[in-house]
Every structure is written in C-alpha cells, then in structure tokens.
Structure 1
Amino acid sequence: MRVIHIITSTDVGGAQIMLSRYLRALGSSRKSHSVIALMAQGPISKEFLSAGIPVHHFGLSPGAKSWRAMLDLRHKLATESPDVIFGWMYHGCLAALIGRVGLRSTALVWGIHHSLADIKAEKASTRMVIRMMAALSHRVDGISYCSSTSRTQHEAIGYARDRARVIPNAVNAAVFRPDHGARARLTELCGISKSSQIIGTVARNHPMKDHVAMVRTIAKLRANGRDVHGVLMGTGQANGPAQAEATVLGIADNISCLETRADVAALVPAFDAFLLSSAWGEAFPLAVAEAMAAGVPCIVTDVGDCAELVGPTGAVVPPRDLAAMARALSGILDLTPSERTASGLAGRARVAERFSFDPYIAAHETFYANALDNRRRACVPAMPTAAADPNGQKTERTERPEAGR
C-alpha cells in the first residue's frame, strides 16, 4: 500500500515527531511511505532521510498562501498516484484535500492532533481553516484523532462522525526509560545544585503551553521554602518568555531554558516531576507519555486527554491554576525517593500497557483499509433503479452514493 503523508512542517513538534517515529517503527514496510511538507526543511527532515524515507518540501513561509504550490502538489500526487494520502495537522489536512482532486481511487485521510476547548483561543487564520475543514470533512474517507476529547470537540463543530476513529499516540518504552545517570548529566549541563529537586518540561515555546505559569508556580514553591529548579527544553525556550518571567520574579538562577536537543531521552529521567502547564490545545501530549515511560511522575492540566493519559499515576489540575499546580507538585516532591520511584514506575507500566507501537501500527493499517473501502464505494458507478412516477408509471432513476463516500 503506497501512502503519502502531507504535514505542515518538519519543525520539532508532537505531530512531526510522532510521524517520524511511526514510520521508523514500520521497519522495512516504510519503503512504501513518503512525506511532503508544506514549509521549508526543518530538523525532523533529517530523521526521515536517515531512515530512507523520501521527503519533499514546498518551502512555504508561515502564513503564506500559494496556489502555485497547490498546483505543484496536485501534479506531484498525480504523478505518484498513491493508494492513500494522509494529511497531518490542520494545514496539512487541507492541502491533502486540495491535492487529492482528480485522484478518484486514492483514499484521503486526516490526522487531527489538536484539541478545541475554546476555538476562540486559536489565531483567526487557524479558526478559518478549522471551520473550512468541518464543512469539507464529508469528502474525507477517514479521520483519526489522537484523543477522544479532540474527536468530541471537533464533531461538535461539524466534523464528519461516520468515518472517525481515535488512535492515541505511542511511545517507545525501550528508548524512554529510567536512567540513574541522567541526573548527573542534567545537573552538570545546567549547573543545578545537587540538593535541588528538578521540575521539568519538554515543549516548544508557544502561548498555549503557558510556560509563564510554570515559572510562576516554581517561584511560589521557592517562596514557600522549597529548593526547586525548573528546566524547560524545546524550540524557542532560550531567552523566551519563561526566562524573561524568571528574571522579573528574581529566580533566573533557578530556571534553565534549553533549545531542542537530540538527547532528551537521556535527560528527562533526571526530573523529580514533570509539569505540563498547557492552557489549551493539547490532545495527547507525547512529552508526557515519554516522561511517564522514563519513570517520572507527571502533573498535567486538564486539557485534551491528559487526564486519561496519566490516569491514577499522576495529578490533574485546572489550566492556569497556579495554586493547584503548586499543591500537586508539593505532593509529588514530598514523597520519599522510593515512593516517588514507585509512582514513576506505575506511570511507566501504564504507558507500556496502553500506548505502545504495535497496536498503533495495527490501528493505522486498519484505518487505511477502511478508508480504501470507503473510497471504492464512492467510485461505484450510479445504478439505475425503478421508481414510480405520480401517475403510477415506473420510471428510471439513478441511485448515487452518499456524498463523499
């Protein structure tokens, strides 16, 4: 089965990383997959290429609109003639819909990796794309969501219900695992006192991640006499809003902001607690699943499927509630080292049992097969059937497949 994945960018983000790891996990069958990115080459491109996965970039800038690029996309897809076109992220999904025009036998599927607690929180241009996709979703042969909450929220604004399914993200617990040497590596890298407890997160700098709230929570803990140090890893963190807020609050020496790193799996196990402070937008945060696999107790805001992800192994707090974040962190940090280890291992067991790659891969194979079945039914020629006219005479009428099928 030939599958082409169309994604907004190959920058570092949850959807991009998930696509890269999924294709790598396919083993030799990944040779039937390729990737198209709408924007210029990003760091994840190297991961695709090193695994022998072809990747093509159209080089669009953020917010740019190019009908020429869409014509080139349609030409490329027509030349490749894949069995399935898989759109990832909103703009990748919309481009996939445009690019599929004319390929009647090619199945089109979308992958949604965002939640919509409040669509007004999104940029105006993103809101327009989201609503446009809702109106066009009946033309798609399959829609996958990485969280049940995301599916419910999108269907509430009009996304097609009859061909949707939830496929949660997956994590490789053999890569993300407890590592007793991680603490020495991280404390040396960031100059952290050996006596400090480390509260960490891994995420790009973006308003929806609300890292200012994380810094303010750490300041609150320090004001209560706790020796804690915050570590934020991700694109845009160096000299970003979190670091600026730490300076304003007088705790700049207690916050370390690192750019994207290739050795995240070797550093995350050093955290005493992982804090996801996101205010909106999360569906199934991969970084939380990775921290759980690494044996780190997690505190998450109640956004998307975060509560379902951590279950009883972590703590769930309302978004933007600094007092609740501080209380939850205190509860984790007050545990003895052995109790905290036991809590972390419970999270690791949950991830290994529920969110491993084998069921993730199998779910996508079924997803593609169902989408192709939907597409074949859509291509069945209209069949004439007998119908009675108002005078009781039989006439010919044409039965047509349901729109989009």
Structure 2
Amino acid sequence: MSTRTSKEIIQLLSDLEPRRPSSSDRFRAVLEIGKLCASSLGLREYQREVTKQIRKLIACEHAFLFRLDEDSGQMFRECPLNDGRKWQRYDYKINPKNYIGECVHSQNATEVSVSPTDLRFRKLDDTLQSLVTKDAWLLPLINKGEVIGVLMVANSNESGFTPDDLEILELCSGQLAIALNSYNLVEQISKQFHQTVLAMADAIGKKDTYTGGHTKRVAHFAEMIAKEMDLAFEDMRDLRLAAVLHDVGKIGIEDAILKKKAPLTDEEFVVMRNHPAIGYAILGHIKSLSNVIDGMRYHHERPDGKGYPYGLKGEDIPIIASIISVADTFDAMISTRPYRKGLSPMVAWQEILDYSGTQFDCRVVEAFDRWFKKSKMYRNQDFGQKRKAS
C-alpha cells in the first residue's frame, strides 16, 4: 500500500464528483482519523470515533471494524448495546467461503453481494444482514504482511461506492492497521501483567488453602452481584481482578496468624485487619490498576464508617469495593473453618439483608438479594418471615 503526501491526498479529494462531501471536508476527516490513531482513547472509544469519521468521509450509512482474535484465529466485531455500557460480540470464521475469509485470504478490497440468496452474505450475522441493504465493501487491515482486522463500509448515500472512495479507504486502512496493532500490543502487555498479578494471588492460595478457595468463590459471587447491577464493561473487568486480589495483602501476614486453627485474639485480629493496607503497599504504585486497587483496598469499609482500615463511609467507598464486601462476607459466613461450622446460605443471606445500609451498601444488598433468590442456594420462600418471628 502506497504512502501519499498531504498534497496528493488533497488532489485526489479535489477530483471527486461535486455531489459527494467537499474535498476539504474529506481531508479534515482523513486528518481526524490520523489524530485518533495517536490519541489516548480506549479501543472501544477509538472504534466508535473512527467509524463515525469514515461514515463522514465517504458518505455511507454504516462502517464496521472487525478484529482478529489471536487465540481463536477468528475475526470478531463488537457493537454497543443501548447506552454503550455493554457490548455485543459476533465471531466469524476465516473461511474462503464467506466474505470475511475471502477478504483476509486475498488481502484485497472485496465487494459484497447484498443478496439473501448469496451463501457468503448469509454467513454474516443477522444484525449485519439487516443493516447492509444496498452495497458494501470489505478492506483488509494489514500489518507486516498479516491481516489483523477488516473494515466494512455499507450503504452508500449516493449511487454507490466509487473507485475514489475505495482509494481513500485504502489510505485510511493503513492508519487503522497501525492503530489496531498498537492496541493489540497494549492488550498483550496487559494480559501478561494480569497473569503476573494473578500468580501473586495464587501464591496466597498456596500459603493458605482456605484463602485460595475463598478468593475464587468471592470472585464468582461478586460477578453475579455485579451482573444484577448492570455494571459497565470496564467496571466489571476491574471488579473481576479486584475480587481475585482482595486478599493479596495476606501475603504479608505471618503464618502463625494466617493458618491459626482457632479464633484470633484481639491483638492478632488487629494485625489481620491491616491486610488491605498491605495489599495497597504492594500494588498501590501501579496507576493503570487504580480502580482495581481501590476495590481491593476498601473492601472492608462500611457505609456507617465502622469498617477498616481507613474508616471510610457512605459514598466515599467505591462501588467495586462495596460489591466485594458483600461477596466476601457471604462466603466467610457459609465457609466452615477449623474452629466453627459455616452457616447455611439461607442464614447468611438473611444476615446480609439485616445489615443493609450499615455494614453493606443498600444498592449492593438489593442486587445480592435478587441474585440469591435466583440461585440454587435459595430454598425456603418463607425463611425470612419465620426467622424474624422466632
């Protein structure tokens, strides 16, 4: 793919038919796409903005970005649902018998036959089939000779996509490939870092068998509660990691206390209560994990200010920490320890409800209640009334 100067791009744009966006508008759109490549936007925000600029650039109704999933070897696209807090993912096999595969294997712009009788068209997901009604093209996003993504444009607002449109899109596809490769590298580094952090959490599990199993259960309970709260994608991602790491500070607690098979003394409990602060001392310098670390650091705080180790109250406690607090306490109550038998899930559920607004965030308790009543642990519909009457 050739690299053109700004002067050459302006000349190309000025030669376009007057019925299309003006050459100056198009040039501004090209520059904006270039700026987006160097921006600090997250991948999904970048995808949203760059497809918007492409729609302006060639006057079409739709633009879609497909990415290569290196683990599965498939292409996928994501689209926002409702207010954009959640995203739907669609996967596509890279097969020469479908349009995505044809574009990837040929490494050339591929025209889509918009026809319900075309088997290749029917292999697109139902959403795409309903949106792509006139004409469409696929362009490969190539980095170092490998296709790492595909750009799709559809439904020209004019009489169809012109050779000039495609030439401009090829110019932009080079920029998109560079940006997509940068995001992929960041994602790889992030995955490696997360694996390192999770290994640290696993080390806690090996040091204390209870803590290891407890961590996995808390992560599960926290995710179930968060789903009931319709937590945004980014917050859900941070919550999962924070829940796994919530007890990482216990790595700094001596074994005599951590593995004690009897209730802790007051002095020992003071030491144990410091594990969130120890966790912060270990991971607090990692700025990219600020939300995760807040969830870990404040999961023993309470709305009434009687929590530890910082005594935060009310809205000062991050929602992620409040979710982990409920999940952590619930699992602690139902788990059997050497010095006591665990409570039944029904009793633990009622305890959580009883301390809503004091020990636990009301919003989180409401979500926990909704989830618990859907779970297999919920048995007796009249349990709460009988317990209060006794």
Query: Which interval holds the TM-score relative to the shorter structure?
Result: under 0.3
TM-score normalised according to structure 1 size: 0.23
Instruction: Considering Cα pairs closer than 8 Å and 6+ residues apart, tell me whether 1 or 2 has the greater RCO.
Output: 1
Normalized per residue, the structure richer in strand is: 1
TM-score normalised according to structure 2 size: 0.24
Normalized per residue, the structure richer in helix is: 2
